Amino acid sequence: MNLSNKPLYHDVAERLRAQIFAHTLPPGSWLDEQSLAITFGISRTPMREAIKVLASEGLVTMKPRRGAYVTEVESGDLEQIFAVLAQLEGFAAKEAAIKASEAQLNQLDNLHLKLEKAAADRDEEQFFEINVRFHELIMEIAGNRWMNGVVDDLRKVLKLQRRDSLGRSGRLQSALNEHRNILKALIKRDGAAAQDAMQAHLARGLEATR
């Protein structure tokens, strides 16, 4: 058995995070430290620390005198999150258009081909995962670790409900077309167009949650 070099609470946080994203622990669920610790076969201390990690990411909300709950994302939260993402990811796309190597552009192109196949197969789960990687690669190419940390935390919160929006009528094809526009601008190394395309994509993403 391979032992992780990470502190125990990091592994516990990872397991809880996976359960939250899978909706095994749905939004609004109370996280009973004692019961969860027994289920995981650990003491309450690493469980408490794991919950603190998830709270710092926005996935868990701490309520005074009531405990920890899986975050429920309200419409007002979504508007604020997408507004921030549009600015940051738009800027990242602009930077990526300038900084990307040919190899990195090929990586983005290959990811987009996989998106095309997932859309053709109506495989929303696969589309979602590839979409995440496409956005992550653009952030990596932009190369601003401080900005990346903020975007990563915001996207974790979006994962609480993001898959649902892809099931809306026509959204899968619309999202694919928006990615085509982003990729086209990146390949042309047109920073302004890449920024506009990314911001338009995120604006449409917000609309799909309504």
**What percent of the chain has a predicted confidence (pLDDT) above 70?**
94
pLDDT at 54 over 90: yes
Q: What is the mean pLDDT of the chain?
A: 90
pLDDT at 5: 67
pLDDT at 168: 61
Question: In sequence order, what DSSP letters do the residues of the chain get, joined into one string?
Answer: -PPPSS-HHHHHHHHHHHHHHTTSS-TT-EE-HHHHHHHHTS-HHHHHHHHHHHHHTTSEEEETTTEEEEPP--HHHHHHHHHHHHHHHHHHHHHHHHH--HHHHHHHHHHHHHHHHHHHTT-HHHHHHHHHHHHHHHHHHHT-HHHHHHHHHHHHHHTTTHHHHHTSTTHHHHHHHHHHHHHHHHHTT-HHHHHHHHHHHHHHHHHHT-
User: In the block, which residue shows the tokens 């507004």?
Assistant: 83
C-alpha closest to that of 75 among 83, 86, 67: 83
One-letter amino acid identity for 98?
A: I
**pLDDT band at residue 1 using 50, 70 and 90 as cut-offs:** very low
CATH architecture of the domain 8-70 equals Orthogonal Bundle (1.10)
CATH class of 75-208: mainly alpha
Q: How many CB atoms lie within 10 A of CB 111?
A: 20
User: Checking phi first, is residue 104 left (phi over 0); if not, alpha (psi -120 to 50) or beta?
Assistant: alpha
pLDDT at 27 over 80: yes
Give the separation between CA 25 and CA 21, rounded to whole angstroms.
8
Q: What is the average pLDDT across 63-71? A: 91
pLDDT at 4 over 70: no
pLDDT at 164: 56
Give the separation between CA 154 and CA 75, rounded to whole angstroms.
14
Strands across the sheet containing 30-31? 30-31, 67-70, 60-63
Q: What is the pLDDT of residues 128-146, one digit of tens each?
A: 889 999 999 999 999 999 9
Distances in Å between the Cα of 116 and the Cα atoms of 72, 164, 178, 181 are 32, 19, 12, 13
pLDDT at 61 over 50: yes
Q: What is the average pLDDT across 53-58? A: 91
Q: Kindly list the domain boundaries of the chain, sorted by start residue.
A: 8-70, 75-208
Q: What is the pLDDT of residues 169-197, one digit of tens each?
A: 578 889 999 999 999 999 999 999 999 99
Give the separation between CA 160 and CA 157, rounded to whole angstroms.
6
**pLDDT band at residue 86 using 50, 70 and 90 as cut-offs:** very high
**What percent of the chain has a predicted confidence (pLDDT) above 90?**
70
